[in-house]
Amino acid sequence: MDLILFSILLVFLGIILIAIGTILKAKEIEREEEGEGSEEKEGEEKKVKAGGIILIGPVPIVISNDKKLLEVLLVIVVIILVIYLLFYLQFL
């Protein structure tokens, strides 16, 4: 597969995943507004889990406020770096 075509496919895959996530979150908010969502008591706070991966060249920076999410992100980083290494070695 041509590297340019593969890059374009990855960009479109990312756009599709973002669109799916946005639609799912909108449906979740809609259900909560209708009262079908989680039955939370007034004044009870939700814990928000957030994390991200920043790749600067081959150097990954992983940030998260939850330990389990951090572990998942680290596995994703390892997979990305292995793919990066395979492509790098293929085009040497």
Closest Cα partner for 62 from 78, 46, 48? 78
Q: What does the pLDDT average to over 48-70?
A: 90
Q: pLDDT (tens digit, 9 = 90+) per residue, 71-89?
A: 999 999 999 889 888 888 8
Closest Cα partner for 75 from 60, 65, 58, 57? 60
- H/E run at residue 54: strand 51-56
Q: pLDDT (tens digit, 9 = 90+) per residue, 22-45?
A: 999 889 888 888 875 555 556 677
Q: What are the residue ranges spanned by the domains of the chain? A: 1-42, 47-92
pLDDT greater at residue 61 or residue 91: 61
DSSP annotation of 9: H
Computed over every residue of the chain, the mean pLDDT equals 85
Question: If DSSP codes are grouped into helix, strand and coil, which group holds residue 38?
Answer: coil
Q: What is the pLDDT of residue 57?
A: 80
| Nearest-angstrom CA–CA distance, 38 and 44 | 12
